Structure 1
Amino acid sequence: MAIKEPTTVAPRPAAHGRKSALSRLGEMLTKSETQIEADELQEDAARMGCTPMCDLQDRQEATVSGTVRAVTLRPRVNVPALVIDLYDGSRTINLVWLGRRTIGGIQPGTYLRVHGRVTHTRGVPTIFNPSYEIVPPRAH
């Protein structure tokens, strides 16, 4: 009678690059809520094929996505400017729409995917008049 060698079974990798339930539980116990949210936003942006905001270069044309953190109307003498702070878990950028006072559907907490040319204004990455898409909550 032959003696069989004991076999070990490697843990099954999570589907599509997602983390296993055990590793997510471990993260929840060791990471702050802010860091977990940042990681999830970065994963969402990568899944949507967007450039991480921390990697944006001046004059680069880019598509980014993230959560609206603040909406501000900056009144100008002749032209109003709607300024939105967008956060992807790695950095915040400013989105500026010249001549706009509001954009329906965009408020703090809204998830956006935007495209445009990046410029650095006072050291902050900024996209003026970007094209945008409001992403439904379950789609990102």
Structure 2
Amino acid sequence: MASEAELDAEELQRSTAESGCVSACDVRRGQLVSVSGRLRTVVYTPRTNLPTLEADLYDGSDVVTLVWLGRRHIAGIEPGRALSVRGRIALREGRKVIYNPYYELELPR
């Protein structure tokens, strides 16, 4: 029997496919992509030179970290929120990252 986490991952992958977005597990460095999923974590990192807001977007297959440079808070960017993002994939310490992505919040279900 599938666990709740497995069922949630399957549902996220299904909605990603329906939205026409690329699965996070398939994106590669340098690609301009559209990815959709649910935010797992949102962290504000105060730095003296440039504060950042970072969020982990999970689509059921993998995580893409979204990084907004110079931002402390963005309305609607909170854990559990579903959204679609567009941007260029970069790698940082082996993790997939999109800096300053264009994003669209999806309506809460």
- Could you tell me which residue of structure 1 aligns to residue 12 of structure 2? 41
Structure showing greater radius of gyration is 1
- Could you tell me which residue of structure 2 aligns to residue 54 of structure 1? 25
Q: Following TM superposition, by how much is the alpha carbon of 1:62 offset from its aligned partner in structure 2, in angstroms?
A: 0.2
Q: Which runs of 5+ in 1 are unaligned?
A: 1-29
Aligned-pair Cα RMSD in Å: 0.7
The aligned length equals: 109
SS of the equivalent of 1:39 reads helix
For 1:35 and 1:74, locate their aligned partners in 2 and report how far apart those are by CA, in whole Å.
31
TM-score w.r.t. the length of structure 1 is 0.76
The answer to which structure has the higher helix fraction is 1
For 2:76 and 2:3, locate their aligned partners in 1 and report how far apart those are by CA, in whole Å.
30
Q: Following TM superposition, by how much is the alpha carbon of 1:85 offset from its aligned partner in structure 2, in angstroms?
A: 0.6
Q: Following TM superposition, by how much is the alpha carbon of 1:137 offset from its aligned partner in structure 2, in angstroms?
A: 2.8
Q: Following TM superposition, by how much is the alpha carbon of 1:106 offset from its aligned partner in structure 2, in angstroms?
A: 1.3
**Higher-RCO chain (CA-CA 8 Å, sequence separation at least 6):** 2
The answer to which structure has the higher strand fraction is 2
2:65 paired residue among 59, 80, 94: 94
Q: Deviations over 1:36-62 (max 9, x none)?
A: 000000000110000000001000000
| Off by >4 Å, runs of 4+ in structure 1 | none
For 1:109 and 1:124, locate their aligned partners in 2 and report how far apart those are by CA, in whole Å.
21
| 1:120 equivalent in alignment to 2:68 | no
Q: Which runs of 5+ in 2 are unaligned?
A: none
